[in-house]
Amino acid sequence: LPSELTSGKIGQIAVVNKDGEVTEYNGSNGEEMKGFYRSTDTGDRLPFLNVPNVNPYLSPVGKVEIDDYASKGYNLEQTEGWPQN
């Protein structure tokens, strides 16, 4: 939104283009602000740590779901990095 490109927003907003390049608003680069909105407070993704119970993006599969699948003849495995039930 062009109306958001004000002097009070310098250094506070950025966009990411389709190639992953980040452009931070500096007060004079309004024409370059094309892409997906990104707050300048947004950091990079956390690494996948492969440590049980410490995987920031993957949730564990519950025992109830695993048992439910098993009762129907399927083998549903636990999400990688989480302890097996």
List alpha helices for 8-72, DSSP H.
63-71
Q: Is 4 left (phi over 0), alpha (psi -120 to 50) or beta?
A: alpha
pLDDT tens across 46-69, in order?
A: 666 666 666 666 788 899 999 999
Domain range annotation of the chain: 2-39, 45-85
For residues 81 and 51, the answer to whether their CB atoms sit within 8 Å is: yes
Tokens describing residue 13: 């907003």
pTM above 0.85, yes or no: no
The backbone region for 68, taken as left when phi is positive above 0, alpha when psi lies in -120 to 50, beta otherwise, is alpha
Q: What is the pLDDT of residues 2-52, one digit of tens each?
A: 888 999 999 999 999 999 899 999 999 999 999 998 888 877 766 666 666
How far is residue 53's CA from residue 56's CA, in Å, rounded to a whole number?
Answer: 9
